[in-house]
Amino acid sequence: MLAFIIRRLLFTVLIALFAISAVFFIIRMTGDPTYLMVPMDASKTVIENFRHKMGFDKPLFSQYVDYMWNFMHGDLGTSLRYNEPALNLVIEALPATALLTLSAMAMSIVIGVPLGIITGIRSGGLDRVITALVVLAQGVPNFWLGLMMIFVFSVKFHILPTGGMGSIKHLIMPTIVMGFYTSSRITRVTKSSVSEHFQKEYIQTARAKGLRESTVLLKHCLRNALMPVVTLVGLSVGIYMGGVVITETIFSWPGMGRLIVQSIEMRDFPVVIAAVSFIVVMFSFINLMTDIAYAWIDPRIRYD
């Protein structure tokens, strides 16, 4: 296991370096941010001095080498917009994104797993109704759902705030929007896995021993059936990180997604790269934790 963890950590470093390099060159294609940073009536001398100070007058590859050298020494650059270390801005925005992500994930698990179990062990009208709703939920775009919720609950009935962060009420709509799609996916995966394992011989053997149905389900069936669900929950972190950009923008949630959007608009290169680097490392770490959870759930799994 230790050797596996070391290999994965090294792989994470390589992936992070690749992602940083890709974002560096892609965002440089958006243009020179100098004219967004200096006053509109700035003289040519002021503009050239700013470009020289920021290093924008160097060839692109030289800028890349300089940035990677500083990155290796823990310097992710200074925000062009806020004149603060880019990493500090990302860390300040992280708690808001973490709160939204964890609440959405909790909602997805609390709703998706029980519905999946119910539809997996039963067949009939309820199963068909839940399955139809799940399929419908997977086709609803999160930006449309967010706008509709704002219209209904904020504009029409004045029940919830339109956006921002401050109380539990501010968290409700962003959580639903982020967790809506993943809840339906977890429901489908749980249903399929529970239904498959519920028909296997070891379940019949457990019943033949006279065990209660709840014991058979919770102790024997779910321990094996939850493996695909654990995989999906781990992968959902990537989905949340992609969806958080849209969700935080719609609801003015002061997290990393909104910070990335604002930084792209202002061509604040250091902040964008720092945020993407942080997301890549965090996503890789969650995947590593998912792999370790496999071995805990199923003792037959061993990593050499």
Tell me if the pTM is above 0.85. Answer: no
Tens digits of residue pLDDT in 204-259: 777 777 777 677 777 767 777 777 787 777 777 766 766 678 888 899 888 888 88
CA distance 151 to 163: 12
Q: Which of 79, 72, 84 is nearest to 16 (CA)?
A: 72
- Distances from the Cα of 157 to the Cα of 151, 154, 166, 167, 214, angstroms: 9, 6, 20, 18, 43
Q: Residue 49 is part of a domain; what is its CATH number? A: 1.10.3720.10
Predicted confidence at residue 53, as pLDDT, reads: 79
Residue 51 structural domain: 1-304
Q: How many domains does the chain have?
A: 1
pLDDT at 89 over 80: yes
pLDDT at 25 over 90: no
Tens digits of residue pLDDT in 144-166: 999 999 999 999 998 999 888 88
Q: At what angle do helices 168-197 and 142-149 cross, to 10 degrees?
A: 140
Burial 89-109 (b: 16+ CB within 10 A, else e): bbeebbebbebbbebbbebbb
